[in-house]
């Protein structure tokens, strides 16, 4: 079954090897991890890596296939979704990316490449609200992120949560998707807080 997940950038900046491995399964602790088709959870995610990480992943296992500077991993994350790595020439430099593509869709690899090029050739550095939330999720330690459990209202059970500091009230959990602009800014690193906002990534 082809995933309908749209390409989405999940980390701002260039991930080094430790960050890359941590983000390979950002959803490892979700409660329904082994239930049904999980393709939509992963397919469409992408982030930038460095050349060293790209080379390391190319050499660690024989690729499933290689087409010029693009290769797919032979180990699948779930169903027909696997890691695809790109070396892409953008603005007079070669940059490297990790993505999850659903190979049941023959257009997924090229569609992902096009989405990355479109996103990374924008004239102004900016982040959409969705990118800010995904970056927060990617960089928050497991002890401070999780999923709404049975104590939450049934419609939001299983949704992602993050820990916030409430001053005198102490810490509390909040649904990731409901963070206010001020809460998002507080969770982002300083160099990302004041980037302009775009409507879509």
- Average pLDDT on 4-15 reads 85
Structure tokens at 165: 């500091």
Question: Could you tell me what percent of the chain has a pLDDT over 70?
Answer: 89
Task: For residue 65, list its beta bridge partners.
Answer: 72
pLDDT score of 4: 47
Contact 44, 5 (CB under 8 A): yes
- Whether the full predicted model's pTM is greater than 0.75, yes or no, is yes
> Sorting pLDDT into bands at 50, 70 and 90, what band is 193?
low
> How are beta strands 70-78 and 65-67 bridged, if at all?
antiparallel
| Strands annotated E in the chain | 8-15, 45-49, 65-67, 70-78, 81-90, 93-102, 127-128, 145-147, 160-165, 171-175, 197-198
pLDDT digits (tens, 9 = 90+) for 109-126: 999 999 999 999 876 677
């Amino acid at each position: 079954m082809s995933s309908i997940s749209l390409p989405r950038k999940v980390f701002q900046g260039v991930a080094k090897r430790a960050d890359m491995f941590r983000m390979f399964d950002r959803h490892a602790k979700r409660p329904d991890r082994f239930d049904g088709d999980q393709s939509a959870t992963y397919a469409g995610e992408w982030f930038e890596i460095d050349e060293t990480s790209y080379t390391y992943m190319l050499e660690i296992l024989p690729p499933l296939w290689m087409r010029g500077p693009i290769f797919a991993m032979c180990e699948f994350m779930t169903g027909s979704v696997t890691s695809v790595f790109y070396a892409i020439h953008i603005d007079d430099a070669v940059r490297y990316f990790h993505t999850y593509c659903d190979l049941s869709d023959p257009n997924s690899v090229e569609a992902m490449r096009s989405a990355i090029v479109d996103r990374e050739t924008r004239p102004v550095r900016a982040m959409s609200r969705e990118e800010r939330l995904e970056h927060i999720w990617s960089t928050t330690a497991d002890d401070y992120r999780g999923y709404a459990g049975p104590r939450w209202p049934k419609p939001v059970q299983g949704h992602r949560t993050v820990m916030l500091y409430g001053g005198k009230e102490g810490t509390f959990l909040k649904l990731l998707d409901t963070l206010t602009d001020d809460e998002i800014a507080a969770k982002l690193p300083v160099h990302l807080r004041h980037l302009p906002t775009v409507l879509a990534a």
